[in-house]
Structure 1
C-alpha cells in the first residue's frame, strides 16, 4: 500500500471515530510503528489530524463536543468492561455522584444492581435510567441547569446545588486525559460543574477508555492529582500506565468478561 493510500485510510478513520491509536493502525495495515507515526506526522503538518500521545485525533478535537448519541457508538465494548469494574467499587447504601457522558451512563446501568444507593447526577439520562417509583431503596437527586450537547446539566444553578452536597464517590466521565492538561472537556460550563462534582466527593473515580488518553479539550476540569482512581480498558499502553502511576492515581484496568479487574 502506498503512503498516500495509508494516509487516506488514517484520515478517514480519525474522522469517523474521532481518534485512532498507532497500535490499531499497525495491526490493521501490517506496517511498522515508525511508518504509521510518519504518516500521522505528515497528516498533522497538513492540518488534517492532530498528533497526540500514541495516535491521532481530529484536528479540531479541543473545541469539538460530540453529542451523546455519537459518543455512545464509540468503543462500546470497552465502556461496558469499564462500567462493570467501576460499579464493583460502589458499596450498598453509599452515596454516589454520577456525571454526564456515555461511560458514566454505562456505569449507571450497572449501579441498578447495587441496593440502597443515593444518586446525585447532572445527567437527565442517568436520572431517568435509575428512577423507579417502585424501588424504595434508591434516592435520585437531579441538579438543574442548562443542557449541553453531551446531555449534561451545567451552569450556576447546578453549581450552587452541588455546593451543598457531600457524596462518598464520584463517577466522572471525561472528554480527554493528559499529563499536563489533566482532565478536560470542550465545554467551559461543563468544566465548572464537573469541578463542583469533584469538590462534593470524598473519592473521585474517573471512567475513561484508552482513546481518551492524550486528548486535550478546551477547558481543564482538574489536574490528575485530584483523581483517586482511574478505571480504563486493557488497550491503554504501558507508557500511559506508567505516567498515570507517577501522578499517584490508582489505576484499574478492566478485564474482558467476568474475571476480576487487573491491577494497573
Structure 2
C-alpha cells in the first residue's frame, strides 16, 4: 500500500472511531496541510466511505461504511493473506469450491490455482477476475443484480442459481461475531451466504480476530454450523477456550506482519 493509501486508511479509521470529526481536527491530528486532508477526504467520499459537509467529515450510516468493498479490501491485509494460505490445505484437487463476496475470500481466489484442477463458483466480481486468469480452474460466475458496494452479485436471481448447484466446500467470512454467532450487516447478503451454506457439503468460516465482540444487524449462523472456523491470532485465549468448549471447531492462524 502506498503512503497516500496508508494515510487515507488512517483517516477513515479515525473518522469511524468518532463518528464525525472537523476538518481542522484532522489537520491537527495528522499534522498535514488542509489541502492534503481535503484531497484524502474527497477520495474517501468518492468511495462511499465518508460524507463531507460544512467543514465536517462523518461516517456514512452503519453498514455502508463497513460493507464498502474497497475499504474492506484495504484493511487487515496481513490477516487476510494469512487466512487465505491457511485455508488451502482444506481444498482438494477435483473439488467444487464456492467463494462468497467477502474480501477475505477474495484473497483466497488467486491462490486456488495452486490446487488444480478445480471448479470454483462465486458471486464476487473481484474473485472472479482472479479466477478468470487462473489455469486449470473451471470458473462459474453467479449472476444476479450487481451491487458496487460489495462488488458482487446478490438478490433473488443469485439465490436461485445457488439453489440449483452443489459444491464440496464453501469458503466465506462474516462482518462480526458476538456470543458465538456470526453476523452480517445487509439482509440480502445474508440470504446469499445462507443459500451457499445450504449448497455446500463442508463450510469454512474465515475471520480476523478483531471481528469478535462486534455486532452487525443480521445473524448468519452459529459458529458451530461451520466445519472449521479459522481465526487470526490475537483472539483472547479465554474466548477461544469458550468457543472450543461450545463445540466450535476453531483453528488459530498465525499472522506475519507485512
Report the counterpart of residue 118 of structure 1 in structure 2.
119
Unaligned runs of 5+ in 2: 1-11, 19-58
* 1:65 to partner: Cα distance: 3.7
Partner of 1:28: none
SS of the aligned residue for 1:112 comes to helix
Contact in 1 for aligned 2:106/2:127 (Cα 8 Å): yes
Aligned to 2:243: 244
Partner in structure 1 of residue 45 of structure 2: none
Task: Verify the 8 A CA contact 1:179 1:243 in the aligned structure 2.
Answer: no
Shift of 1:255: 2.1
In structure 2, what is the equivalent of residue 32 of structure 1? none
Question: What pairs with 1:190-209 in structure 2 (closer than 5 Å)?
Answer: 190-209=189-208
Paired residues of 2:97 and 2:167 also in contact (CA < 8 A): yes
1:132 maps onto 2:153 in alignment: no
Partner SS for 1:183: strand
TM-score normalised by structure 1 residue count: 0.71
Map of 2:68 onto structure 1: 67
Gaps of 5+ in 1: 1-11, 19-57, 258-264
Residue 162 of structure 1: aligned partner: 162
The count of aligned residue pairs is 206
Match of residue 234 from structure 2: 235
Runs of 4+ in 1 over 2 A off after TM superposition: 12-18, 58-66
C-alpha change, 1:203 and 1:17, in structure 2 (3 Å) is farther
Corresponding residue of 1:108: 109
User: The residue matched to 1:115 in structure 2 has which SS?
Assistant: coil
Contact 1:82 1:231 in 2 (8 A): yes
Distance in 2 (CA, whole Å) between partners of 1:122 and 1:243 is 33
The alpha-carbon distance between structure 1 residues 61 and 253, as it changes in their structure 2 partners (threshold 3 A), is: farther
How many Å apart are 1:247 and its aligned residue? Answer: 3.1
Q: Secondary structure at the match of 1:88?
A: helix
Q: Is the 8 A contact 2:224 2:249 kept in 1?
A: no
RMSD in angstroms over aligned alpha carbons?
A: 2.6
Contact 2:177–2:212 (CA<8 Å) still a contact in 1? yes
**CA 1:245–1:119 in 2, change beyond 3 Å: closer, same or farther?**
same
